[in-house]
Amino acid sequence: MITKQKMTGLWAGLPVAWESNMAFDEEVYRSNVERTCKAGVSGVYTAGTTGEFYAMEWDEWKAITKATVEECKKNRTPVMIGVTSTYTLGAIRRANYAAEVGADAIQVALPFWMELDDRQVVPFFKQVSDAAPELGLTIYETMRSKKSLTADQHRAVSQATGRYLAVKANANTIGCTPDGCRELSSFVNVWVGEKEWSNLGPYGATGCASALVYVNPPVILHMLTLLRQKNWKELKPWTDMVTRLVTQGLDPYIKKGFTDTAFDHLMGVATGFLTMNVRSRGPYISATDDDVQQLRAWMKVNTPVLLDLNFKK
């Protein structure tokens, strides 16, 4: 089983490549997974929000899972599969399949249609984890699940499963606060967005379920080096740059109503690292080729280093 030590760093949460008719473009997707692995990321995963798990059928999810695992194995890169579902059996089936095809870890959020009672939280994570006993477990904690976990609940999941290795902490969850990050990091890896590294790195954050590493791997991997060195002074200007991108640079698209996967297709294609159709599945708003050109123009003026895919420090 993958170790807690391995579940740190930059895990690239790749967008899915779709053809013009919105069918899975397996050839292009596999090439992007391979390129990301060769860039030196800590791991690759799919079927989170960026991977549009909520907008695909079971057979599509299986095809994308299989392609991701196969390409990662070819390139000796750890691989994690998102198994989130609206019900326990759905998550268990996905966990079973992830184990069957050779994933190293699974990522799961709480079911999100009806809010879970506190009494259901730990049993849910244990049942899903037990379905794939050889795989590491990570929790995708997001308020889209209508519930944030307490530190005691995180600890109880760790004790109940014995395989809880990392939490992807998002806004308004305990891992995104200094005290919460410090407490959680005593028993589980805490992943936060790159823009939070200089703020939460001193409290124990160890990496990210990343939507930026495939924007510019050399730059974001340099930031990871500074995080691991605990060089907060040098890291701060880089996290400020990332903050500038995701606030000022993406503001026009926020106003258009973009959600995660539209942003992530947009940013990866804008720098040229990802080679895929920029579109994502509805009903959510999708980026366009014009959006790509507009963001690229903004980055050229405001964050030019992110357009330099040959960056070296």
SS3 assignment, position 181: helix
User: Is 313 a residue whose pLDDT tops 90?
Assistant: no
pLDDT per residue over 11-63, tens digit each?
999 999 999 999 999 999 999 999 999 999 999 999 999 999 999 999 999 99
- The first and second tokens of residue 308, run together, are 């330099």
- Mean of all residue pLDDT scores within the chain: 97
168 close to 8: Cβ distance less than 8 angstroms: no
pLDDT tier for residue 144 given thresholds of 50, 70 and 90 = very high
pLDDT per residue over 98-124, tens digit each?
999 999 999 999 999 999 999 999 999
State the amino acid at position 76 in one-letter form: R
Cross-strand partners of 82? 107
User: Is 226 a residue whose pLDDT tops 90?
Assistant: yes
Tally DSSP H helices, then E strands, for the chain. Answer: 12, 8
Query: Per the omega criterion (within 30 degrees of 0), is the bond before 78 cis?
Result: no
What local confidence, expressed as pLDDT, does residue 223 receive? Answer: 98
Cross-strand partners of 164? 137
Q: pLDDT > 90: what percent of the chain?
A: 99
Instruction: Give the start-to-end residue ranges of the domains of the chain.
Output: 9-216
Dihedral, CA atoms, 285, 289, 293, 299, nearest 10 degrees?
Answer: 50
What is the pTM (predicted TM-score) of this model? 0.96
pLDDT per residue over 61-80, tens digit each?
999 999 999 999 999 999 99
What local confidence, expressed as pLDDT, does residue 291 receive? Answer: 98
Q: State which fold the 9-216 domain adopts.
A: TIM Barrel (3.20.20)
pLDDT per residue over 240-284, tens digit each?
999 999 999 999 999 999 999 999 999 999 999 999 999 999 999
